A = this chain, B = another copy of it.
């Protein structure tokens, strides 16, 4: 029997997925087990596979299969969506000439290299010229890809298909109007104690406790594993093999615990993708923000809730000496302490969005308003003073703290906040549809929640765009309100205040 065009397309795209999944294995190995001096070889292997994958994707054959498939009748909704997304990606890939891809790749390598040096020695001037060069290239890229959406929007679209600056402007205006006042009110309340979290916590016992939590929330070790790496991450080669990593700080219990729950949230999403759609858009994540919504939901809405620790605190307390005399309420308060800090990745659930807000405002100006690296630095320091009352004393704690811009990732940061806001909106909905959820969580049972996420979010992959999915699941578009309600309820308890706003 002659294969239909769409079947051939599937075969081709899934072959490319095998190559990309293999690159992911190489990347995983690089972060976990690569010997100290084997990196040169690893770069060679990655470059070779990446060029093969790219050539396969932009080949005439792919174009023909896409064209024929899009004329094929009787395809189901998933197949149609796959063809649509693949065609868009294909045409986008064709819009950027290879010479530009090479130039960009070199500029990114250079910028990353300079960023590492600059951060290490706290010398922004080492990074600024490379960043300026990269900004020019990213504007150029946005111009080539632009379809009347505007430059920043075009870059944003690569990370978060379908989202727009008008949505983001609205969200971040709300952050300023509704979230900042909450933070300010909390800052005037009596601070909670958390010093016991920074005592000695045995590494092996922490590791075991992490594994216990992973099992408890349904991470499937038959289709994944956990290893140690300097920066925790999740990487899925397919739903059959989704791996996470963690790091353990002997003098800080928080580090391992919530990074494990965060990565587990990402991993539960990937393990719940539809294996029949392997390698195809409908078998992949809807967007970065939806991905992040899953990690935040498990990290914060589940993992920093009093309910969750009612189930797990007794065994935690038994394991670690520093917690012996700490009540569950005081533990709960400590793990939700709100205070301003310089570093995004170390900040609490609320301040986090101020860090992102600042980056969003700056990167939009970088791409659209002709702002340069030096100007971005000035703006950064001004905004940290204005929003958080923090005086940046060195750039390593300021504009140099994040790797993203050195990778050429402009339009990435907002997906972190969007992810949190989606998480709040999804979790609110889950609680409505699963009225016993709070009780279940308090008994250590999160299986109904996972089932709900699988059915409503995971299994669809990219069948729906993020905003569409949000409407389908919650009946409304993305809004800050569920997050604000969540924050008010949670922190009024913890800090003993009733918010004025």
| A residues in contact (CB < 8 Å) with B | 14-15, 18-19, 21-22, 25-26, 29, 33-38, 40-42, 44-45, 47-49, 52, 221-225, 227, 237-238, 240-241, 243
The docked-state distance in angstroms from the alpha carbon of A35 to that of B226 is 10
Q: Is the beta-carbon distance between B33 and A225 smaller than 8 angstroms? A: yes
Q: Is the beta-carbon distance between B25 and A223 smaller than 8 angstroms? A: no
Across the interface, name the chain B residue whose C-beta is closest to A22: B45
Distance in angstroms from A327 CB to nearest chain B CB is 37
Q: Is the beta-carbon distance between A19 and B49 smaller than 8 angstroms? A: yes
Q: Is the beta-carbon distance between B37 and A240 smaller than 8 angstroms? A: yes
Q: Is the beta-carbon distance between A35 and B222 smaller than 8 angstroms? A: yes
| In-complex Cβ contact of A48 among B18, B29, B36, B48 (8 A) | B18
Name the B residues within 8 Å of A41 (CB-CB): 21, 237-238, 240-241
Q: Is the beta-carbon distance between A221 and B35 smaller than 8 angstroms? A: yes
Distance in angstroms from A107 CB to nearest chain B CB is 24
Name the B residues within 8 Å of A47 (CB-CB): 18
Q: Is the beta-carbon distance between A225 and B35 smaller than 8 angstroms? A: yes
The docked-state distance in angstroms from the alpha carbon of A151 to that of B288 is 59
Q: Is the beta-carbon distance between A49 and B22 smaller than 8 angstroms? A: yes
Given contacts A19-B48, A22-B26, A48-B19, contact A40 B222 (CB under 8 A): no
Given contacts A35-B221, A35-B224, contact A240 B18 (CB under 8 A): no
Q: Is the beta-carbon distance between B45 and A240 smaller than 8 angstroms? A: no
Across the interface, name the chain B residue whose C-beta is closest to A47: B18
The docked-state distance in angstroms from the alpha carbon of A33 to that of B245 is 13
Name the B residues within 8 Å of A18 (CB-CB): 44-45, 47-49
Name the B residues within 8 Å of A241 (CB-CB): 34-35, 38, 41-42
Name the B residues within 8 Å of A225 (CB-CB): 33, 35
Name the B residues within 8 Å of A49 (CB-CB): 18-19, 22
